[in-house]
Structure 1
Amino acid sequence: MTDTTKTLCPYCGVGCGLEVSPPAQLGKAINRDGQGDPIWKVKGDRNHPSSQGMVCVKGATIAEAIDKNRLRYPMLRDSLDEPFRRVSWDEAYECIVHRIQSVCATQGADAVCMYGSGQMQTEDYYVAQKLLKGCLGTNNFDSNSRLCMSSAVAGYVQSLGADGPPCCYEDLDLTDCAFIIGSNAAECHPIVFNRLQKHHKKNHNVVKMIVVDPRRTPTAEVADLHLAIHPGTDIDLLNGIAHLLLRWGYFESEFVSECTANFPAFAEVIPHYPPEVVAKRCGIAVEDLETAARYWGTSKRVLSLWSMGVNQSTEGTAKVRSIINLHLMTGQIGKPGCGPFSLTGQPNAMGGREVGGLCNLLPGYRHVQNAQDRAEVEQFWGVPAGRISPHWGRTAWEMITGLETGDVGLLWIVATNPAVSLPDIKRTQAALLRSPFTVYQDAYYPTETAAYAHLLLPAAQWGEKTGTMTNSERVVTLCKAFRPPVGEAKPDWEIVAEVGRRLGFADKFPFTNSAEVFAEYVQLTRDRSCDMTGISHAKLAQSPLQWPCPDTWANNNSKRLYTDLRFATPDGRARFSAYHSKGLAEPPNSEYPFVLTNGRLYGHWHTQTRTGRIEKIQQMHPQPFIEIHPRDAAKLEIQEHDLVEVRSRRGKAQFPAKVTKAISPGTLFVPMHWGALWGDETEANALTHPECDPDSHQPELKACAVQLSLVVQKTNINQTEAYPQYPRQFLPTAF
Structure 2
Amino acid sequence: MFDGAELASGGQREVKTTCPYCGVGCGVIARVAADGAVSVRGDAGHPANRGRLCSKGSALADTLVPEGRLLHPEIGGPENRYRRVSWDEALGEVARRFSDTIARHGPDSVAFYVSGQLLTEDYYVANKLMKGFIGSANIDTNSRLCMASSVVGHKRGLGADAVPGSYEDFECADLVVLVGSNLAWCHPVLNQRLLAARAERGTRIVLVDPRRTDCVDAADRHLALKAGTDAVLFNGLLAWLDSRGHRDAGFTAAHVEGVEEALAAARADAPDVATVARRCGMEEAEVAAFYAEFAATGRVVTVYSQGVNQSSQGSDTVNAILNLHFLTGRIGRAGCGPFSVTGQPNAMGGREVGGLANQLAAHMGFTAEEVGRVGRFWSAPRMADKPGLKAVDLFRAIEAGTVKAVWIMATNPAVSMPDAGRVRRALAKCETVVVSDCIRDTDTGRFAHIRLPAKGWSEKDGTVTNSDRTVSRQRAFMAGAGEARADWWIMTQVARRMGFAEAFRYETAAAVFREHAALSGFENGGARAFDIGALGGLDDDGYDALAPFTWPWRTGSEPQKRLFGDGRFFTADGRARMLAVTAKPLPRVLPDGALLLNSGRLRDQWHTMTRTGLSARLSAHAPEPRLDINPADAAARGLVDGGLARIATAAGEALARVHVTDAQSEGAIFLPMHWTDRFTGACVIGRLIDDGAVDPASGQPDLKRMPATVEPWRPDWTAFLLARRPVEPGHGGYWARRAVAGGHLVEMAGMGAIPAVEAWLPGLDPAGAAVEFHDEARGGLRMAWMDGDRLEACLFVAAAGRLPPRGWLAGLLAADGLDDGARAGLLAGRAPGVADEGRIVCACFSVGINRLAHAIRDRGLTSVAEIGAALKAGTNCGSCVPELKEVLRHAHQREVA
Return the structure number with greater relative CO, CA threshold 8 A, min gap 6: 1
Aligned to 1:424: 419
Give the counterpart of 1:247 among 243, 247, 261. Answer: 243
Aligned to 1:383: 380
Task: Tell me, yes or no, if the aligned pair for 2:132 and 2:384 is still in contact at 8 Å.
Answer: no
Is the aligned partner of 1:192 residue 2:190?
yes
What is the CA distance between 1:540 and its match in structure 2? 6.6
Is the aligned partner of 1:546 residue 2:580?
no
Is the aligned partner of 1:394 residue 2:393?
no
Task: Tell me, yes or no, if the aligned pair for 2:729 and 2:762 is still in contact at 8 Å.
Answer: no
Q: Identify which range, 718-727 or 487-496, moves more after superposition.
A: 718-727
* Matches of 2:96 and 2:46, distance apart in 1: 45
Aligned to 2:352: 354
- Change in Cα spacing, 1:69 to 1:732, as seen in structure 2 (3 Å) is farther
- Cα deviation per residue 1:120-156 (whole Å; 9 max; x = unaligned)? 0111011111111111101111110011101101100
What is the CA distance between 1:3 and its match in structure 2? 2.3
Aligned to 1:516: 511
One-letter code of the match for 2:243? R
Aligned to 1:267: 263
- Cα deviation per residue 1:287-332 (whole Å; 9 max; x = unaligned)? 1111111111111111011111100111010010000011111111
What is the CA distance between 1:111 and its match in structure 2? 0.8
One-letter code of the match for 1:235? A
Q: Secondary structure at the match of 1:669?
A: strand
Q: Secondary structure at the match of 2:520?
A: coil
Aligned to 1:650: 651
One-letter code of the match for 1:700? D
* Matches of 1:633 and 1:188, distance apart in 2: 27
* Matches of 2:86 and 2:628, distance apart in 1: 48
Q: Secondary structure at the match of 2:664?
A: coil
Under a length normalisation based on structure 2, what TM-score does the superposition of the two structures give?
A: 0.77
Aligned to 1:618: 619
* Matches of 2:719 and 2:274, distance apart in 1: 45
Aligned to 2:448: 453
- Change in Cα spacing, 1:700 to 1:725, as seen in structure 2 (3 Å) is farther
Question: 1:171-570 maps to which residues of 2 (within 5 A)?
Answer: 171-204=169-202, 207-272=203-268, 273=270, 274-367=272-365, 369-384=366-381, 387-526=382-521, 527=524, 528-535=528-535, 536=538, 538=542, 541-553=545-557, 555-556=558-559, 558-570=560-572
One-letter code of the match for 1:647? A
- Change in Cα spacing, 1:714 to 1:667, as seen in structure 2 (3 Å) is farther
What is the CA distance between 1:363 and its match in structure 2? 1.2
What is the CA distance between 1:371 and its match in structure 2? 0.9
One-letter code of the match for 1:318? D
Task: Tell me, yes or no, if the aligned pair for 1:19 and 1:42 is still in contact at 8 Å.
Answer: yes
- Change in Cα spacing, 1:560 to 1:716, as seen in structure 2 (3 Å) is farther
What is the CA distance between 1:434 and its match in structure 2? 1.0
Aligned to 2:824: none
- Change in Cα spacing, 1:726 to 1:86, as seen in structure 2 (3 Å) is farther
Q: Secondary structure at the match of 1:620?
A: coil
What is the CA distance between 1:483 and its match in structure 2? 1.7
Question: 1:5-16 maps to which residues of 2 (within 5 A)?
Answer: 5-16=15-26
Aligned to 1:61: 59
* Matches of 1:224 and 1:69, distance apart in 2: 45
* Matches of 2:719 and 2:589, distance apart in 1: 30
Q: Secondary structure at the match of 2:489?
A: helix
What is the CA distance between 1:589 and its match in structure 2? 2.2
Task: Tell me, yes or no, if the aligned pair for 1:656 and 1:716 is still in contact at 8 Å.
Answer: no
Task: Tell me, yes or no, if the aligned pair for 1:439 and 1:454 is still in contact at 8 Å.
Answer: yes
* Matches of 1:371 and 1:718, distance apart in 2: 61
Count of aligned pairs between the two proteins: 710
- Change in Cα spacing, 1:685 to 1:143, as seen in structure 2 (3 Å) is same
- Change in Cα spacing, 1:161 to 1:707, as seen in structure 2 (3 Å) is same
- Cα deviation per residue 1:602-655 (whole Å; 9 max; x = unaligned)? 110011010111111111221111111111111112111121111111111111
- Change in Cα spacing, 1:149 to 1:17, as seen in structure 2 (3 Å) is same
* Matches of 2:63 and 2:116, distance apart in 1: 19
* Matches of 1:175 and 1:624, distance apart in 2: 37
What is the CA distance between 1:700 and its match in structure 2? 0.5
Aligned to 1:23: 33
* Matches of 2:730 and 2:230, distance apart in 1: 41
Give the gaps of 5 or more residues in structure 1: 25-29, 31-37
Task: Tell me, yes or no, if the aligned pair for 1:656 and 1:717 is still in contact at 8 Å.
Answer: no
- Change in Cα spacing, 1:716 to 1:594, as seen in structure 2 (3 Å) is farther
* Matches of 1:388 and 1:286, distance apart in 2: 55
Q: Identify which range, 321-330 or 614-623, moves more after superposition.
A: 614-623
Aligned to 2:684: 683
One-letter code of the match for 1:534? A
- Change in Cα spacing, 1:620 to 1:494, as seen in structure 2 (3 Å) is same
What is the CA distance between 1:713 and its match in structure 2? 7.4
* Matches of 1:569 and 1:717, distance apart in 2: 62
Is the aligned partner of 1:702 residue 2:700?
no
- Cα deviation per residue 1:479-506 (whole Å; 9 max; x = unaligned)? 1111210110000000000000111111
Task: Tell me, yes or no, if the aligned pair for 2:13 and 2:33 is still in contact at 8 Å.
Answer: no
Task: Tell me, yes or no, if the aligned pair for 2:510 and 2:543 is still in contact at 8 Å.
Answer: no
Aligned to 2:70: 71
What is the CA distance between 1:726 and its match in structure 2? 8.4
What is the CA distance between 1:201 and its match in structure 2? 2.6
Aligned to 1:51: 49
Q: Secondary structure at the match of 1:534?
A: helix
Task: Tell me, yes or no, if the aligned pair for 1:208 and 1:295 is still in contact at 8 Å.
Answer: no
- Change in Cα spacing, 1:719 to 1:189, as seen in structure 2 (3 Å) is farther
* Matches of 1:309 and 1:689, distance apart in 2: 17
Identity of aligned residues (%): 39
Under a length normalisation based on structure 1, what TM-score does the superposition of the two structures give?
A: 0.94
